[in-house]
Amino acid sequence: MKIVIGSDHAGFPLKAEVIEHLKAGGHEIEDVGSFDPNPVDFPDIARLVCDKVRGKEAERGLLVCGTGVGAAIAANKIRGIRAAVCHDVHSAHQSVEHDDVNVMCIGAQIVGPWLANDLVDAFFAAEFDRNEDFVRRVDKLAQLETAD
């Protein structure tokens, strides 16, 4: 799978470990930053990741920040993005299966490398279940983007 990944400074060290794990699993990775531990604003990185997903340059995205929360908030402001904070394996796969999540956000201050690797394995292996209930709900999510 073609995956785009980004982090802020808090997620920078964990991102490097996750990238190596994903590459070992045969995934193609595009890292859009940050590229060092210097402070960076997570909305800027979220924009870079989400633009690649929206433009179909990547199938899914991964954002790593301190808690995952700020990255998820930023990503969900972008039309066409469904982002979720996932700190357990069940949420990582079910967010795709039921909600067609296309960007997973994890917190480097919450999970360590072993759990992060389990999370990305579950997320990137999952597929959207085209059950009519799930399709209808995801369609309603898209309608919320244009409600204003």
Q: Which of 9, 50, 65, 86 is catalytic?
A: 65
Active site residue 65: yes
Residues 97/106/114/123 CA torsion (nearest 10 deg): 20
Distance CA(103)–CA(52), nearest Å, equals 11
Name, in order, each residue with C-beta under 8 angstroms of 119's C-beta and a sequence gap of 6 or more.
Answer: 86, 87, 88, 89, 92, 104, 106, 111
CB-based contact 83:72 (threshold 8 Å): yes
Q: Which of 21, 27, 87, 98 is catalytic?
A: 98
Active site residue 98: yes
Question: Left (φ > 0), alpha (ψ -120 to 50) or beta: where does 126 sit?
Answer: beta
Residues belonging to the active site: 65, 98
